[in-house]
Amino acid sequence: MGKKRIIYVLVACLMISLLATACSSNENKNTAAGQTESGKKVKLVVWTWETAKDGLDLNMEAFKAKYPNIEVEFQNMKSTDLYSKYLITSNTGDAVPDIITVESTNLAQIVQIDSLLDITDKVAPYKEKMSPYKWEDATKDGKTYAMPWDSGPVVMFYRNDLFAQAGLPTDPVEVAQKIQTWDDYYQAAKLVKEKTGAFMYGDSKTNSSNRVFESMMWQRGLWYFDDQGKVAVDSPEVKEVAEYLIKMQKENLVFDARANTDQWGNGIRDGQIATVVGGSWHDAIIENQYSPSDNGKWSVAMMPKWSKDDKYSGANQGGSNMAINKNSKHPEEAWQFIEFMLGSEENQVKMMSEAGLFPAMMIDNNPAIDEPSTYFNNQAIRKVYAESLANTYPLAYTSDFPMANKLMTDVWAKVFLNNASPEQALKDMADELRSKTKRE
């Protein structure tokens, strides 16, 4: 080969190399500027429910500005319908939806069927920024399949007027000192009933949602299953929690209505329920749905503990997450959407402030935490939520939670309808759980 020809070849190679580098550089610039990986228009389908979409909508304008090539179609449905529909979809290998919203109560179930994209590396920068318990149900065999969104730190909402009539303090600091334990709560319940005729909280004897029961267990690091995955609902510690709640019911200190039903809400509206021990999202339910005219009558304190010396002062009740269908044709764009919505403190705070979705992200130092709530007596109620979240035992719902929750409702029915002893009813439940789940 002559020298000139060699030079021509070298020049050609160099030009090709420079052109490739330029193309790569342009592609990186496009991606950095918020374009899709391919530079083409991409449509993402997101399955969610109405209240979750309300939160996402708050950040959609900013998302579209950053990612103009990503179109997002929301398909709203009830959460129960979403799960059953997705189970069918995952079995067929359908690429739609690209993203699903999943409540923590059902997340482990969805993770177990191996239908979600492994996003372990993608979520790594956020592992320390989220409350530790939120990762438990998102993880299988050391790999992570969902990004935490909101949480449900449990607190005690209480009626100032009913507490005052009962001779109890109303200032949140004083209330937290007066009602430190569940025994204190029981004593306060008797005063409320005696002085006002109202009930301390609402729950159905025979159709309980188990929310208070589960919150009491969670706070103590107890659950339907122990750390080794063995059935533990018949343990002495769980039994004493059940017996406490049965005592409250039998002494007529509980408004007999399943939580979050209209009957329960009517009890709140009519001033028959003095406290709601529940997730932070109850603030919107109380203020907007059932008791909008009671401005200033409600305040918030930490939930009681079983013992003053207990390590954890908070618990969890619900919350949600976002995950990517492993069959999605646009996994990178799906992650861009999730990261934009859930990985940004600014966007999370906006969803908290305007949609009531208290983030799993630890935002203790954000100024929004200190904002007073006009409805809740000008109290900075989010500070209480943040304290609860920071002091919550890192416990997992587990994939068998829905079954255990249903069987626990049956336990109360056996106790109150069939006069079964709590010990026997819990033992029967434990045996049934062991049989159905193959757990020890």
The DSSP secondary structure of 102-118, one letter per residue, reads EEHHHHHHHHHTT-B--
User: Where does CATH 3.40.190.10 sit in the chain?
Assistant: 42-152+317-370, 155-316+392-437
Distance (Å, rounded) from C-alpha 359 to C-alpha 267?
A: 29
**Range 155-316+392-437: architecture per CATH:** 3-Layer(aba) Sandwich (3.40)
| Token couple for 404 | 């255990």
The predicted pLDDT at position 37 comes to 57
In this prediction, residue 91 carries a pLDDT of 87
User: Residue 279's beta-bridge partner residues?
Assistant: 154
The structural architecture, per CATH, of the domain 42-152+317-370 is 3-Layer(aba) Sandwich (3.40)
Contact 377, 371 (CB under 8 A): no
Q: Enter the tokens of residue 279.
A: 């997730």
Helix axes of 401-418 and 104-112: crossing angle, nearest 10 degrees: 130
E strands present in 305-412: 316-324
pLDDT of residue 3: 37
Classify residue 78 by burial, with Cβ atoms within 10 Å: 0-12, 13-18, 19+.
exposed
pLDDT of residue 184: 98
The predicted-structure confidence for 390-438, as pLDDT tens digits, reads as follows 899 989 999 999 999 999 999 999 999 999 999 999 999 999 999 999 9
Interval 226-280: pLDDT, tens: 999 999 999 999 999 999 999 999 999 999 999 999 999 999 999 999 999 999 9
Residues 98 and 178: their CA atoms lie apart, in Å, by 50
Which residues, in sequence order, are CB contacts of 286 under 8 Å at separation 6+?
Answer: 157, 268, 276, 294, 298
Strands 147-159 and 275-279: antiparallel
Residues of the chain with pLDDT below 70 are: 1-38
Q: What is the CA radius of gyration of the chain?
A: 26
- At 234 the pLDDT is 96
pLDDT reported for residue 345:
96
Give the residue from 395, 394, 367, 397 showing the smallest Cα distance to 383: 367
Cα torsion angle, 322, 320, 406, 398, sign: positive
